[in-house]
Structure 1
């Protein structure tokens, strides 16, 4: 059992990355990986059975993917009843040091393992089968023969599912994100300055024409029930939100990295005495903001540590 545990732990991080992209929820991904361990330890505890598995990572990914597919199919019903818009639980980490913003050939390899809220939002448009096919093949380079095994379809059907998913991910109205950390910092600095100015025209220049703004409150706070699309409409919304927050009291903000992209964690006093805790992430493409994602559902941000007294608006990376 110790040997099995060691083998599994060596693959846990990779499995969590696969499950997180499939499910869009860190907690659900962790549950799926734990269920994978239970099946692994039960099915391969016999040394003879273990010896028959030549590709352990492939066995684990297949098992984990089938678990995720079942979760996705049941989650689809839950999401349809979700109040308002849905965003994933944010994975929040610290902002890199100054050297971390410098262009570095190795950064692409590092960012390749990051998700970004924009991609997770687009993946929500897919059917469970399309999402599994896309994540396995396009993100993790799993052969279509193995994808077909997970989905119980032919390799050609798996190829078609991934192709449909690929078209959805790259649709013109999907928020694109391609900026490295240095470009993100430049664009978000301009975004903050535009918000500070209160001038819609200045903010619109920072926003892409098809920018999308999404807020997930889980029904706990007021939020738009549909995405707000377009630079002028999103600009008016964002300026209105910041003006309203200022009226309620001082807004505290800490720059953070959200799912691999720059953003911030904030706390805003709400009019009824509650404190709104918000995680804001962005998508940046070709020098403009293409997506603004506000996660303010307490069920998804409640476990984040509270902000200290040094957190203040405006954020500076």
Structure 2
């Protein structure tokens, strides 16, 4: 199947099951906090709790001091942290949710035929809905503290979509792998814990660069920072902080690579998932 065929197949699945996609997305959004007193407000509990813990440990105990926003002048660790932490929870939530949504809907998959990708896309859309509220609160906080970032909001939205595509592509790969090998769900927990600390979320990337320069090349002129830069989430974190914390446009070459990589990962994930989705009921 060529790339054009893959693209048409994605849109064909979405168009043919748009009503089901809407219903599954609403089920995810409404069902998650059904019969709770605070309802959707619970979606903010996890990032707020992480914000308090990480701010205490890294800003007060370890005393990590990222540079003030340039040119915004913002100098508040909590805001700096949230500009990368919220995208991380969004990203990891999509991948982990995608991985569990196929095995979690085993009975439905075995009873009725429908494009299995609908479950993946519903998971992504419900996560995107929740992330929109989180980012809205962050934008309001930035505006209240005196940094006018309104001009950058459209590109923030585009970057969110790119991150969703990247996460969905990975999620499709993990979802298929988890159907065949249930060890994947346990492995992913370790992987994402390591990935979190291998990303500049609670510390600035400049610290890694400084340590890399002092350590020198590892082999063949390759440095620690060269390897570190292979982590795609580093560049997402950089773009979000450029737009929301620094109040400036990101490096456009970096943005172009992130955009191309996100779209490529999405279609690779889709191709792998599409190849296996008709056989998932048999394996389950």
Computing the radius of gyration from Cα coordinates, the structure with the larger value is 1
**Larger fraction in helix:** 2
**Which of structures 1 and 2 has the larger relative contact order (alpha carbons within 8 angstroms, sep 6+)?**
2
Assess same fold via TM > 0.5: no
TM-score (ref. length: structure 2): 0.28
More strand by share: 1
